Structure 1
């Protein structure tokens, strides 16, 4: 397990205080050094999760590489849409890393940790993978490299409007008035008690509690193929879809995806890869045999899956060290 993180508010918006956790590598006795920074964005279909719901073994691996790891929260849909909530917040977090992280560490008595602003990277899983990619366009200073684990992309594909029969059969039907209570949450929340990644929280399973409107709402939208309708209502998905936003000069990008992914099928990432290559973007693709969605949370360190997914972090390391 990594050491306990520092936590701070990096942004306030309409009464939402949005925090980030900061994990620091061992300084190895150095009095001052500039460190690469990895932004690690949690998943949860834009509606669920929080910064504690990321893979701690992955953080340990990144700390061993000598990286500072910054794990932000963001406002959760549907009280805000994808662009004006999660994307805006993660872009503001990126700017905070460039402009304020080093000063925050100094104020916290961690002045031995400098920030190498030429080596800021972005990583995320599932919806967090999409948010990492969204830092590569419409930002003043994109990250140096991006790692996307089974991220939500290619939103014009019919899959995104298709129900998931297996999931649909496993959840109850809820009264519409009950589901709509999620819109009454104020301020817009930045964490939920469950994710789609199978972690534990406070010693309890992170499975859904259908007495909570947010849990019921999120799972209902996912099962019915209505995530985009719920989280980007009335918008043109091409405005936010990395498949439509990648251009020449996009940061080097690695995609890691499970071959048996049932919630974000791997063929969606194939299209992103095709677009990246078409624009001459440096990219790699790691397909992990036999793995379904969110496999990163159930990996055993040292397993075949563990070693394959580490290739994505090796890609980041190669990019920032040349």
Structure 2
């Protein structure tokens, strides 16, 4: 392909994401506005990466603590605004409830394992944090009071994000996430994420394992895991909590009796309790004097 002319070249450049106008806000619930599909990163040869940003209507009295929610889907699929099937019928939805409780909520995309192997996913989420930090004053965000929260594969990534050297998180909520990928056999979603079985990529598998990232300076963790999880054994969550506690960090493991993956099994009240317990943790670690968000 011929090179563009000097006059044309500036018009072919990608827009500056630090100044790109934000999309018009929707109103998914009373008192809540939603900026849907905000581009936060351009990767060569990849789709633009976007996030949804849930905010209160009007300018808050002060900067809001931020929950970054990372979706699941075995790193291969999933929707950024989906907390799981048990929450899809909630009205108002879970993210609107978090906003009503006093948070801003960001739900970012990330490259899936069919698009790029690890650490692309962690790199993307780190870039989402940079974008939020760069536009924090404009949006009224307190990025120094950050909680990462994820479910399943998203919980794995949320844990890595909280344990990374990027912006220091105030806390992390892990719902039934894998935490040790060092024994991932061929043909599993974990091996697809790594680009091959862990035995062939031991250093990468260790780098992708939250249990291997633990330090005494880790933020508080709340780990909830179903006792009957048929996809990710509860021992994965227990191992992360044990490693954190052994390092001197604050961590709590909460078994959810009779729950399979995605909180399948328990009645609605037990699922509501998982959400309420996680919200209470986020309120506590960020110092928000909120309510239950309902």
Tell me which of 145, 149, 161 is aligned to 1:123. Answer: 149
Partner of 2:40: 10
Instruction: Give how far 1:117 is off.
Output: 2.3
Aligned to 1:311: 277
- CA distance in 2 between counterparts of 1:97 and 1:297 reads 36
Quick check: 2:53–2:104 contact (8 Å CA) kept in 1? Answer: yes
Displacement of 1:289 after TM fit? 1.0
CA distance in structure 2 between the partners assigned to 1:250 and 1:306 by the alignment: 27
Deviation at 1:149, TM superposition (A): 0.7
Structure 2 CA distance, aligned partners of 1:5 and 1:307? Answer: 25
SS of the aligned residue for 1:318 comes to helix
**For residue 203 of structure 1, what is the aligned residue in structure 2?**
none
* Post-superposition offset of 1:298: 9.1
CA drift of 1:72 comes to 0.5
Which residue does 1:288 correspond to in 2?
256
Gaps of at least 5 residues in structure 2 are 1-27, 289-294
Equivalent position of 1:259 in the other structure = 227
TM-score, normalised to structure 1, is 0.70
Q: Displacement, 1:26?
A: 4.4
Structure 2: distance between partners of 1:81 and 1:22? 26
1:113-136 per-position Cα deviation (integer Å, ceiling 9, x unaligned): x11122111101001001111112
Match of 1:227 among 176, 189, 203: 189
Per-residue CA deviations over 1:236-268 (Å, capped at 9, x if unaligned) read 311110111111101111101111111111111
Counterpart for residue 276 of structure 1: 244
Equivalenced residue count is 244
Residue matched to 1:196: none
Answering whether residue 102 of structure 2 is matched by residue 62 of structure 1, we say no
Cα distance in 2, alignment partners of residues 287 and 132 from structure 1: 19
Runs of 4+ in 1 over 6 A off after TM superposition: 296-299
SS of structure 2 residue aligned to 1:263: coil
Q: TM-score, normalised by structure 2?
A: 0.76
Query: Of residues 84, 88, 112 in structure 2, which corresponds to 1:76?
Result: 112
Matched residue SS, 1:313: helix
8 Å Cα contact 2:54-2:96 kept in structure 1: no
If asked which structure has higher relative contact order (CA below 8 Å, sep 6+), I would say 1
The range that moved more, 46-55 or 1-10, is 1-10
**Structure 1 position 296, deviation (Å):** 7.7
| Cα root mean square deviation, aligned | 2.3
CA deviation string 1:33-85 (max 9, x = no partner): 211110011001111012132346321331121111100111111331121x2
> Match for residue 42 of structure 1?
71
Classify 1:305/1:251 alpha carbon distance in 2 versus 1 (closer, same or farther; 3 Å).
same
Q: Is the 8 A contact 2:180 2:210 kept in 1?
A: yes
Q: Equivalent residue for 2:12? A: none
How many Å separate the matches in 2 of 1:309 and 1:289? 15
Shift of 1:21: 0.3
String of CA shifts for 1:104-153, please: whole Å, max 9, x gaps. Answer: x3xxxxxxxx1112211110100100111111233332221111111111
Distance change in 2, residues 1:297/1:89 (3 Å): farther
- 5+ long unaligned stretches in structure 1: 106-113, 162-223
